Amino acid sequence: MRLLLVEDDHLLAEGLASQLEKAGFSVDTTHTAREAVILGAQEDYRVGVLDLGLPDGNGLDVLRKWRASNARFPVLILTARGDWQDKVNGLKAGADDYLSKPFQAEELIARLYAIVRRSEGRVQSSLKAGPFELDENRQSLKLADGTEHSLTGTEFRLLRCLMSRPGHVFSKEQLMEQLYNLSESPSENIIEAYIRRLRKLVGPDTIATRRGQGYLFNETT
């Protein structure tokens, strides 16, 4: 699940990106308003974390430009500005949540998953498709027989993407965008390798291949 982190404090951004990646996000980081506006409008993010005090502009202006360009991914404002009027202004500009600094990373991650769930029309912290249940907190998969299997970070992100929309065909390019950030450049063959590994867990027919199109999660098998 791809995430855009906009934070001008380089040290904070580096540490936060590491924790977010451990929690299952593929993170692109920028430190400027100018680049944030471009990335938010061009890339396919599932969620964003936005600081307000940026060196070349105001985070609220970035958010307004995202919304004006029809960027619909949920956004959490993360800032040192913590009075009620700042929160109201952020929510009116199109933010979905607001967290003041200092903060605990666990709370930030929980809030991010909550706004992503709401954007997907879910209330539970697990994804269910057919007899399978994907636990977002534990990054594990429960099978129909009740056995539970821990997933690697990449396996979790790939399966989460497929299970979030059962029956929808995802191209290799779309899956790559959700699994890896802009600084990574893995071969497209890596998707095939992870699909083979996941099929050993869910069965060969559950993740179907559409020749020339991509892959889909078949919840009816």
* pLDDT tens per residue, range 104-153: 999 999 999 999 999 988 888 889 999 999 998 889 999 989 999 999 99
Q: How many domains would you assign to the chain?
A: 2
pLDDT at 185: 79
Last residue of a domain, one of 120, 135, 166: 120
Tokens representing 135? 């636990």
- Beta carbons of 54 and 36 less than 8 angstroms apart: yes
Average pLDDT of span 151-171: 93
Confidence of residue 219 (pLDDT cuts 50, 70, 90): confident
Residue 164 to residue 76: CA distance in whole angstroms: 21
Q: For residues 81 and 77, which has the higher predicted lDDT (pLDDT)?
A: 77
Q: Are residues 94 and 193 in the same domain?
A: no
* Residue numbers of the domain that contains 69: 2-120
**Torsional sign, CA 134, 135, 141, 147:** negative
Per-residue b or e along 83-114, where b marks 16 or more CB atoms closer than 10 Å to that residue's CB: eeebbebbeebbbbbbbeeeeeeeebbebbbb
Q: Are residues 157 and 104 in the same domain?
A: no
Alpha helices in 9-104 (DSSP H): 10-22, 33-42, 59-68, 84-92
Q: Are strands 2-6 and 47-50 parallel, antiparallel or unpaired?
A: parallel
- Closest C-alpha to 19, from 37, 40, 3: 3
Q: Are residues 49 and 131 in the same domain?
A: no
User: Residue 221: pLDDT above 80?
Assistant: no
pLDDT at 194: 94
Q: Are residues 102 and 143 in the same domain?
A: no
Q: Which residues contact 35 (CB under 8 A, 6 or more apart)?
A: none
Residue with tokens 């959700």: 178
Q: Are residues 9 and 110 in the same domain?
A: yes
What is the per-residue pLDDT across 166-207, written as a single tens digit (0 to 9) for each? Answer: 999 999 989 998 888 888 878 878 999 999 999 999 998 999
